[in-house]
Structures are given as structure tokens and as C-alpha cells.
Amino acid sequence: MKERSKFREYKDEGADWITLANGEYYPDILIDACNLYRPVLELFSQLLKSSESSIRLFMQINELTQPWMRVQLSRVFKKYVSPNTPVEMLKKKTKAQWICGEFGKEFRQITKVQKAFMGRPMPDEALCAVMWEYKDRGKKGYNLTERMFELLRSKFPDYNISGPERAGRDILMGEVFEDYTKPDRPADFVIKDGNDVLAIGFARYDSDRGGAQEDDRTGGYSFATREILEYTSKRKLKTKVIFVNDGPGLLLGSMWDDYSYLEDSSDNVMVVTLRMITDRITIEWLNK
């Protein structure tokens, strides 16, 4: 392949530079999905029968002490009772009363929920398949960051490369720079040479991306980049910003062009896929 210096120059052969995560075939997953979620649906059925209202059903789910089961029941609750309420909100125990006050009037009537639920088979293959999709949500991203750390540490053994390698709390910019403009700004990894911060990094796997979602992603990245570079420029730091993005979503819509414009905005910004890391991120660039 010809030598390139910019992310945009890879676009014509973009499919050769992305990493495809392993997927699962339908209906092969149904047996495992039904085995995994049958206890969830059975418990939901029990709680549904003992609840005089949808608010009471929600409160009973919220009283469970097992986090995994409570989250799965919240997903079933969302599907049957409150499709407009985010699961991330439903699973916060401390917000239970507030959720009931704000959204309870929109909950589907308990009698309609009971009729709809009892009209489905046990276990409901369709619902189990939908919930199975949630099971590995984020796993592709975890695999990306794990492999990314391996590549970076192999190439730069003398540098300290930190960040959550799979699940874990993001690095906050206030932990990297004491007087940072927005201390709660999250980052995915940091490359340091002793006390010198050589790079702030962001990593994402885009399996499917388009429309407003792609605009939100690159728009947010653009704002973060300007913020970081303004901070480092004022303090005469040589800190770079690295975006490790991968997956077929890069080939959809304007994603590749959007990331190209982001990289073109500054010599201190670089966008790479996993396969580009070894060739493009160099000691010379990091220390320039």
C-alpha cells in the first residue's frame, strides 16, 4: 500500500484499514438467550401479578438488591410499560420516587401490561433476542481499547500509558492537569513520559453510525480538541490529541471525512484505526 501522511488519504481503501468485530448469527443465539433471560421473565411475571399498578410494579423492581436482575427487569419494564423512559434512568434506585412523579402518569395501565405479557410465550423468544443485543453492548469497544493498549505499550515501552483497558472509570482531565478548564472532561487514555503529558487519547468502536449520531460524535470531539489544545497552547505544552476510532461505522455517511477535518484542524491531532497505530503514531510526532 502507498505511503500516506494523513487520515483522509486512507479513505479510498478504508475497508482495508478497519477492524471488524466478531458477530453472532440469528437464530443461533436464541437457545442461549432464552436460557439466560427466562428467570428474568419469570420474575417479571410474578411481580406483575402481585402489582396493583404500574407504579407499584416499578417500585417492586426497584426494591431488588441484585443489580444484574434489577437492570434486566428494568429493560423489560421499559418495553412493556414506559418505552420513553431511558433504562439508565430506570436503574437508578435513588431516583425511583422522582421517576414515578415525573413519568408515572405516562406508564401503561397495569391491566394492559398484564394482558400483553400473558399473551406472549414463556420465554418470549423475540424479547430474549432483543435483550441479548444489550448483553454485549460495549464489548466491541472494550476489545478495541484492550488491543490498543497492547499496541501502544509494545511500541512505546518506555512511556506510561494509562486508562481503563476494558470496563472502568474514564480518566478525568482534572486528574491530568490540576488547573484544567473543565476538570470533569473524560478521556480514554493518557501517554506520559515521566511527568510530561505527551498525548490525551479518545477511543471508540463504531459498529453502526449515521445521521445525527455521527454529527454528535464528531462535533463533541471537535469541541474537546479545541478545549484541550487551547489549554496546552497557553501553557506551551507539546501535548497531542489522539483519536483511535475503528469499525465499519467509519465507512458510513460522512464519518471518514468528519474525522479527516478533525485531524486537519491541527498538527497536534491524529486520527487512527488500530491498524494505523504502528505506522502513524511515532515518538518523533509525540515529542514534536
**Mean pLDDT of all residues in the chain?**
86
Are 127 and 215 in the same domain? no
**239/161 same-domain check:** yes
Q: Comparing 70-84, 110-124, 160-174, 269-283, which segment has the lowest mean pLDDT?
A: 160-174
Question: Chain centroid to CA 252: how far?
Answer: 18
What percentage of the chain reaches a pLDDT higher than 70? 89
Residue-level pLDDT at 241 = 95
128 with 142, same domain?
Answer: no
In 3D space, the residue among 254, 235, 255 whose CA is nearest the CA of residue 246 turns out to be 255
Instruction: Cell numbers for 223, please give them.
Output: 469541541
Q: Could you tell me the CATH number of the domain that includes residue 227?
A: 3.40.1350
Question: End of a domain among 117, 135, 153?
Answer: 135
Residue pLDDT, tens place only, 194-214: 999 999 999 888 776 544 455
The C-alpha cell at 56 is 407499584
Provide DSSP, 235-271: TT---EEEEEEESGGGGSTTHHHHHHHHHHT-TTEEE
Instruction: Tell me, yes or no, whether 55 lies in a domain.
Output: yes
Hey, CA dihedral for 187, 188, 191, 195, is it positive or negative?
Answer: positive
Same domain as 166, residue 276? yes
Average pLDDT over residues 133-151: 75
Q: Residue 218 has what pLDDT?
A: 67
Query: Are residue 113 and residue 92 in the same domain, yes or no?
Result: yes
Q: Please, what is the angle between helix 30-49 and helix 67-80, to 10°?
A: 80
* Helix or strand run (H / E) with residue 10: none
What would the grid cell of residue 4 be?
500516506
Residue span of the structural domain in which 43 resides: 30-135
Q: Tell me, what's the pLDDT at 138?
A: 55
Q: Taking the C-alpha atoms of 146, 152, 155 and 157 in order, what is their torsion angle to the nearest 10 degrees? A: -90
pLDDT at 165 over 50: yes
pLDDT classification of 136: cutoffs 50, 70, 90:
low
Q: At 281, is the secondary structure helix, strand, or coil?
A: coil
Rounded average pLDDT over 119-131: 94
What is the average pLDDT across 156-172? 85
Tell me, yes or no, whether 232 and 94 share the same domain: no
In this prediction, what percent of the chain has a pLDDT beyond 90?
Answer: 54
- 5 band by pLDDT with thresholds 50, 70 and 90: confident
Same domain, 127 and 184: no
Of 91-95, 110-114, 225-229, least confident by mean pLDDT is 91-95
Q: What is the predicted pLDDT for the residue at 210?
A: 47
Instruction: Look at 255 and 2; give whichever has higher pLDDT.
Output: 255
Span 82-105, average pLDDT: 78
Which residue's entry shows cell 423475540? 126
User: Do both 268 and 155 map to the same domain?
Assistant: yes
Domain membership of residue 228 (yes or no) is yes
On whether both 158 and 99 belong to a single domain, the answer is no
Q: What is the model's pTM?
A: 0.70
> Residue 110, SS3?
helix
Domain count for the chain: 2
Compute how many other C-beta atoms are within 10 angstroms of the C-beta atom of residue 67.
10
**CA distance readout (Å), 256 to 6, 12, 63, 270:** 12, 10, 46, 13
pLDDT at residue 187 is higher than 60: yes
Angle at 219 between CA 19 and CA 5, to 5 degrees: 50
- Specify the pLDDT at position 166: 67
Same-domain check for residues 114 and 229: no
Task: State how far the Cα of 89 lies from the Cα of 99, in Å rounded to an integer.
Answer: 8
The predicted-structure confidence for 22-79, as pLDDT tens digits, reads as follows: 667 889 889 999 999 999 999 999 999 999 999 999 889 988 888 889 989 999 999 9
Kindly state whether residues 170 and 142 are assigned to the same domain.
Answer: yes
Same-domain pairing of 146 and 169: yes
